[in-house]
Amino acid sequence: MKKTFNLTTIFATVLVLILSACGNATATPAAQETVVPSSAVIAEGRIEPVYAANLSFLAKGVVQEVNVKIGDKVNAGDALVKLASADTAEAQVVAAQQAYDALLRNESGDRARLWQAYMDAQKARGAAEKKWDDLNVKNIEDRIEDDKAAVEDRVQDVKDAQDEFDKYKDLAEDNTKRKDAKDTLDNEQDNLNEAIRKLETTTRERDTVRAAYDAALAAEAEAKYQYELTLDGPNADQLALAKSQLDAALDALDAYVITAPFSGVVADVNVKVGEQVGPEVRAVSIIDPGTWIVETTDVTELEVVKITVGQPVSIVADALPGVTLTGTVSEISQAYVLQGGDILYTVRIEVEEIDPLIRWGMTVEVTFETLEN
């Protein structure tokens, strides 16, 4: 078919001249055919959709479901065919998904709880800080110094009383001087104890508030630390493991279920329920019939130099000689193929409007509309 010149046109012209010479007959002009310029390049190719896929299973098994038939429209992700093992794989996916989702929910709950704990710790620290700020620390510390001085005085009084009592301690217990010295010593000891208690009470006025403030600061810092851990995921290792298990389950399911990789139309179904199949069997073919291309098979090195990207093209399928499609050159291969001694280059053509009778893989004749120099 390729490289045929327009002999039909030449023959028709000769016929018209012969008939016109016959004066005793009235001739009807022959139908005029489109004349192909001598510089035009005519090539063969195959027409196919831009998006097309022959789909097979990744594992061996028995076909359990065939959910589509030829001509059905499908959406990306639709399950087309399933093997019997798919039920077990789907159950594993559900279990893995539930485990992963549970961890995500727990993580979210933990983060919310720890955030609330952090907020509560901030409030407690704020209240403790205010008490500390409102405390007249200087006044307390002045009184502490006074109380310390009083304690030191009382210590000296006890020491003096002890020295006095030591003078009479060897006397009889009912001795008046001994009894008076003992009473004085006991009284001074009581005074010392009271002075110590007063010092401690005054010191607690400061230290209790300060301790509460320090504790609130520490609690806030710990709450903040625990909350910030959740920002990277408190269960990061568990989440990573659960996600890997989910991914593995999904991969296993992919081996037993064929899904549509894009939205389109089912072009062929090659399996039946109950049939044993494997990766070597083409199960389903789908296409997107919206966009089609032609790739040439025999453009030579002498012809490719006459073709440019954007050049208009007419296309006629061998099976539909009365239907002419139009297109535009979109790509010209930079690599060659050696075939039968010829150097060939593949030219890709975008088809502008497809005829509904066109089928995937039909052989077509392509005419590149070049201009005469």
Q: Using alpha carbons only, what angle is made at residue 31 by residues 28 and 33, rounded to the nearest 5 degrees?
A: 155
Measured CA to CA, the distance from residue 364 to residue 315 in angstroms comes to 6
The whole-model pTM stands at 0.49
Element (H, E) at 228: helix 176-231
- Write down the domain spans for the chain: 1-35, 36-78+260-368, 94-237
- The rounded Cα 153 to chain-centroid distance in angstroms is 78
What percentage of the chain carries pLDDT values higher than 90? 64
Contact 283, 270 (CB under 8 A): yes
The predicted pLDDT at position 58 comes to 87
The predicted pLDDT at position 235 comes to 61
Structure tokens at 289: 């019939």
The predicted pLDDT at position 11 comes to 40
As a whole number of Å, the CA-based R_g of the chain is: 50
Give the SS3 label for residue 63. Answer: strand
Contact 211, 176 (CB under 8 A): no
Q: Could you say which residues of the chain have pLDDT below 70?
A: 1-38, 86, 104-110, 232-237, 371-373
Give per-residue pLDDT as tens, 31-56.
Answer: 345 555 667 899 999 999 999 999 99
Measured CA to CA, the distance from residue 254 to residue 95 in angstroms comes to 16
The predicted pLDDT at position 35 comes to 56
Question: Domain 94-237, what fold?
Answer: Helix Hairpins (1.10.287)
Please tell us whether the domain made up of 36-78+260-368 is placed in CATH 2.40.30.170.
yes
Give per-residue pLDDT as tens, 200-231.
Answer: 999 999 999 999 999 999 999 999 988 787 77
The predicted pLDDT at position 26 comes to 42
